[in-house]
A and B are shown apart, each in its own frame.
Chain A
Amino acid sequence: MNQNRNTDQPSEGKNALEWTVFTFSTLLVGAIIVLLGVDTLRWKEGPARLEIVKGDAKTEDGQLRVPIHIINRGETVAVNVTVEVTDTSSAQGKNATVNFDFVPRGAMREGRAIFPPDQDPAKLEARISGYEVP
């Protein structure tokens, strides 16, 4: 070893910074392993269970915007989820579509359905029309 090659004086063995980085890294990697381990043990095969929650509609820029929250309480990721929001007040009611790329297990995603400003939000109904299984 050529410890005197540099002007900085090296200490014996690992220094405080190296021990700090090692301890922090061990805790961090250990926490991730524990988290993934618990997730592995809790893993169950099953379909995605998607739940839609309609938020309070607001009129902005001459449009009625209806917040659509989608929550996946199932065991599988849902891909390309399509939510249709329909006006149920008449047979030829207006409708809007909101698409979500992915809704992972336990996750919530948010989108907006857009309607004309005269639309009554109470008459709107949201339903999932389909999704892909990854």
Chain B
Amino acid sequence: MNFSHSRSIPQSAREYGRGIAGGLMFSLPLLYTMEVWWTGFVLHPGRILLYILATFILLILYNRFAGLRRDASIVEVAIDSVEEMGIGVVIAAAILWITGRIDSGMDLSEISGKITMEAMTVAIGVSVGTAQLGADDDGDEGLSGDDGRGSEGYLPQAAIALCGAVLFAANVAPTEEIQVIAMESRPGNLLLLALCSLALGGLVLHFAEIQGHHLHVARDSFLASARGVITTYAVALTAGAACLFFFGQFDGQPLRMILAQTIVIGVPAVLGASAGRLLLQVRPPGA
């Protein structure tokens, strides 16, 4: 098999080190959230399997369009994604064990469920950390060379927005607060939240001039700008709803509550899909 990258063992070790740091940095709130531990044994194992599949697809999208080896083949990207999931499992298991959340007296289903529900978010953090926390000496040049234009298309940008939205939304999706806000909000408040989310998306993408906006935000015309903001919000709502589904927040809820929760989680998700999306593509100097 031909690989587009080759590196020495010390280089690889440093890259794994960055991944471990990123995994902990981006997912520590979830590792310390008890609702996530509970979902590990409350959810149907089939849904946890689906969560693994969804995370794998997300990792492939991120590694392909925004990750460290954007010029790699799909097989290499898949290998990287499996590695990130494996590292995520080890980190999650270690933290859960050290903090006394898993022990040898527990049933294997409970242990595997808890580890998996935590490990998948850690894996996304590992992927982001590997790509963003350094990497100025690895020689990776992006999907189409030095300018990285290959990830500027509409769909690649939507895919990276999805990764950013999941990274932000997953940190609050399992908490009871989302349900409480959704339950106690009047329709007018929910409408205001939706409008605020759209405004936040517009502010980040077209006003705040966040690093990388000139490269990754389409602004040829008013229509292109509006399409960008609306797509970002749609991606945020999709990512938020998916997170809520995977953490069991939709179970047994009426349609009104499902919609309300999705709008509530839309606020952090849209931040991830807009600001997060741009930050996930920031290349370190010299890369």
Contact = CB atoms under 8 A, between A and B. Distances in A.
Check if A and B associate.
yes
B223 to A, nearest CB: 40
Contacts of A92: none
Q: Name the residue in A2, A17, A22 with the highest tally of chain B Cβ atoms < 10 Å from its Cβ.
A: A17
Interface stretch (B77-85, B181-189, B203-211, B267-275): B77-85
A25 B87 contact: yes
A32 to B, nearest CB: 6
Contacts of A102: 38, 41-42
Interface string B75-117: 0000100111111011000000000000001111110110110
B285 to A, nearest CB: 14
Contacts of A2: 139
A12 B1 CA distance: 11
A31 to B, nearest CB: 8
B6 A106 contact: no
Main secondary structure of the interface of B (DSSP, over half): helix
A36 interface: yes
Interface string A25-63: 110110011011101100100000000000000000000
For chain B, the bracket of interface size reads: 35 or more
Interface string A6-26: 101111111111100110111
B3 A13 contact: yes
A126 interface: no
Contact of A29 (B48, B86, B105, B110): B86
Interface of A: 1-3, 5-6, 8-18, 21-22, 24-26, 28-29, 32-33, 35-37, 39-40, 43, 77, 102, 104-108, 134
10 contacts: A1-B139, A8-B11, A10-B7, A18-B83, A28-B90, A29-B89, A36-B116, A40-B46, A43-B44, A102-B41
Closest 5 CB pairs of A and B: A25-B86, A104-B41, A8-B8, A39-B45, A106-B107
